[in-house]
Amino acid sequence: MNVNGVTSGVSAYSAYTSAPKTDNTTAAEGKNALSAAVDQGAVYEPGKQAPIDSAKKTYTPNTELINKLKADVEERTSQLRSLVEKLITGQGNAIGKSDDIWSFLRTGNFTVDAETKAQAQKDIAEDGYWGVEKTSERILDFAKALSGGDPDKIETLKNAFKKGFEQATKTWGDKLPDISQRTYDATLKKFDDWAEESKKIV
């Protein structure tokens, strides 16, 4: 911002106010002098201020967090798959393709040893890695990392999550277990909460 207009206005105003008032100075003359001083000081210079739109926040994906989340999920998924494969082959079943694992689990026609059962129960408990809360948190963290936290992308990400859930249901071959539905509901709520929070910030 150019301060010349401001300083010259201050000088003019000072000159006016410090000048001794004589009996010959009329009210109209004083008003005109003050008006001239104010007009001189209030100089607007267009184009000197940055437009409001330039202050708009930019959002970039958090690739470090994305990679960390992906690596963590891949490792846990690999452990789970290994556990299931061990269970299937231990009961004399063959795995032809990856879909066979889900078909096998969906039937519920299998038995597990105490150690495997205990680990599975721990993993899907409320505070477990595959539990409702932690899974829904990871999904939302991943969505925020992908969008860089951009609230304008919430609906797009939410719809992508819904589509993914539909595809998982088709892969499973039937309605997903209760824990999956509860995770779905918890995740949608987290998307809605994010949308509400972003409205308060704006």
Percent of the chain clearing pLDDT 90 (strictly above): 35
Tokens representing residue 193 in the block: 């909460």
Nearest 5 degrees, angle CA 101-CA 107-CA 111? Answer: 85
Residue 54 per-residue DSSP state: G
Cα separations in angstroms, 163 against 148, 175, 191? 21, 15, 15
Arithmetic mean of pLDDT over the chain: 75
Percent of the chain clearing pLDDT 70 (strictly above): 63
Span 87-106, average pLDDT:
64
- Asked if residues 170 and 102 have their Cβ atoms less than 8 Å apart, the reply is no
Give burial (CB, 10 Å; 0-12/13-18/19+) of 48. Answer: exposed
Taking only the tens place, the pLDDT of each residue in 175-197 is: 999 999 999 999 999 999 999 99
Amino acid identity of residue 196, one-letter, is E
